[in-house]
C-alpha cells in the first residue's frame, strides 16, 4: 500500500510515521508513506497557499492552485483508489472505514487547514471526506496520522500477531473484554479464575460475555450496529 499526504505543515507528521508499528510496516516494505509539502507546488512568489474568502469573515482559505498542482502531479504517476479530505463535516471515521481503506492500494490524503479548502477542490478532486470526531483541530495533520495508523496496522504482516488486530475493540462493534497478565495475584487483586482454568472454550465464552457487557455499559450505541 502507498499513502500520499498533502499538507502545509509536513513537520507535524515526521514523528508519527517514523516509530513503532508504522515504522516496522515501512521497513518490511508493506507500506509506503510519502508526505508532500503543498507549498512546493505554489506558483505564488512567496509560496502562499491561502487567501481571504470571497464571502468575507475571519480566517483564511486554502487556495486551489497549489492543491490542484500537487494532486495532478501525483495522479500522473499512479491511479488512486481514494483521495480523502480531512474535514470536520466529513463521514465519521470508524474501524469499519479503516478496514475498507486497508484493502486499497493507493490512497491520497489532503490535510485541511485554516478555514478549509476552496470548495472547488472538494467538488472536482476529493472522493471521500472523513472526520475523526465532532471537534475542530488546528489542521488535518493529526487526523491524517490517526487514520494512517489505524489503516496500516490492519495490513497483513505489519503486526507480528495478525490475530491481535482482528480482536481489537470495534472490529465486531463490541468493545474488547478486560485483559490481564502476570502475576495472577497482586496484593490480593486476583485475575478471574476462568482465565487460569486452561479450558479455551470456557475462556472464549467468558470473553464474549465480558465484551458484550462492557459495550452495554460503556457504549450501548454500538450494540445497535452489532444486532
Is the pLDDT confidence value at 226 over 80? no
State pLDDT tens for residues 184-218: 999 999 999 999 999 999 999 999 999 999 999 99
Please give the Cα distance from 140 to 56 (Å, whole number): 23
To the question of whether residue 29 is assigned a binding role by annotation, the answer is no
Is the pLDDT confidence value at 161 over 70? no
Q: Are 145 and 42 in contact (CB under 8 A)?
A: no
Mean pLDDT of 68-88: 97
Mean pLDDT of 92-105: 96
State pLDDT tens for residues 106-151: 999 999 988 899 999 999 999 999 999 999 899 999 999 999 999 9
- For the chain, domains (ranges, CATH) are 2-152 (3.40.1280.10), 170-226 (1.10.1270.20)
* pLDDT confidence of residue 224: 83
Is the pLDDT confidence value at 32 over 70? yes
Question: 58: pLDDT confidence band, cut at 50, 70 and 90?
Answer: confident
* pLDDT confidence of residue 104: 98
CB count within 10 Å of CB 4 equals 23
User: What phi, psi does 38 have (nearest 5°)?
Assistant: -60, -30
Question: 165: pLDDT confidence band, cut at 50, 70 and 90?
Answer: low
* pLDDT confidence of residue 164: 55
Report H helices in 37-110: 64-75, 95-102
Length of the chain: 227
* pLDDT confidence of residue 167: 56
To the question of whether residue 136 is assigned a binding role by annotation, the answer is yes
CB count within 10 Å of CB 169 equals 16
Looking only at the bridges linking them, the beta strands covering 189-190 and 185-186 are antiparallel
Q: Among residues of the chain, what percentage have pLDDT more than 70? A: 94
Q: Among residues of the chain, what percentage have pLDDT more than 90? A: 85
To the question of whether residue 133 is assigned a binding role by annotation, the answer is yes
Q: Higher pLDDT residue, 221 or 171?
A: 221
* pLDDT confidence of residue 160: 73
69-75 contacts: CB < 8 A, separation 24 or more? 69/41, 69/42, 69/43, 70/6, 70/36, 70/38, 70/40, 70/41, 71/6, 71/108, 71/110, 71/125, 73/41, 74/4, 74/36, 74/108
* pLDDT confidence of residue 194: 97
Question: 56: pLDDT confidence band, cut at 50, 70 and 90?
Answer: confident
To the question of whether residue 134 is assigned a binding role by annotation, the answer is yes
CB count within 10 Å of CB 220 equals 9
* Chain position carrying cell 489503516: 151
Average pLDDT, the chain: 93
* pLDDT confidence of residue 227: 54
Mean pLDDT of 166-194: 86
To the question of whether residue 112 is assigned a binding role by annotation, the answer is yes
Amino acid at each position: 500500500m502507498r499513502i500520499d499526504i498533502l499538507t502545509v505543515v509536513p513537520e507535524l507528521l515526521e514523528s508519527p510515521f517514523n516509530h513503532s508499528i508504522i515504522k516496522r510496516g515501512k521497513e518490511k516494505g508493506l507500506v509506503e508513506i510519502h508526505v508532500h509539502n503543498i507549498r512546493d507546488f505554489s506558483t505564488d512568489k512567496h509560496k502562499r497557499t491561502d487567501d481571504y474568502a470571497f464571502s468575507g469573515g475571519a480566517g483564511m482559505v486554502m487556495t486551489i492552485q497549489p492543491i490542484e498542482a500537487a494532486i495532478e502531479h501525483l495522479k500522473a504517476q499512479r491511479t488512486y483508489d481514494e483521495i480523502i479530505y480531512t474535514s470536520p463535516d466529513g463521514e465519521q471515521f470508524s474501524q469499519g472505514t479503516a478496514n475498507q481503506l486497508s484493502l486499497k492500494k493507493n490512497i491520497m490524503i489532503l490535510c485541511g487547514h485554516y478555514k478549509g479548502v476552496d470548495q472547488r477542490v472538494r467538488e472536482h478532486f476529493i472522493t471521500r471526506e472523513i472526520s475523526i470526531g465532532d471537534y475542530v483541530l488546528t489542521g488535518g495533520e493529526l487526523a491524517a496520522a490517526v487514520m494512517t495508523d489505524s489503516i496500516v496496522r490492519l495490513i497483513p504482516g505489519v503486526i507480528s500477531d495478525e490475530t491481535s488486530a482482528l480482536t481489537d475493540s470495534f472490529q465486531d462493534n463490541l468493545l474488547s473484554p478486560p485483559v490481564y497478565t502476570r502475576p495472577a495475584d497482586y496484593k490480593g487483586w486476583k485475575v478471574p479464575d476462568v482465565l487460569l482454568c486452561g479450558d479455551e472454550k470456557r475462556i472464549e465464552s467468558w470473553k464474549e460475555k465480558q465484551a458484550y457487557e462492557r459495550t452495554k455499559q460503556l457504549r450501548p450505541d454500538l450494540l445497535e450496529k452489532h444486532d
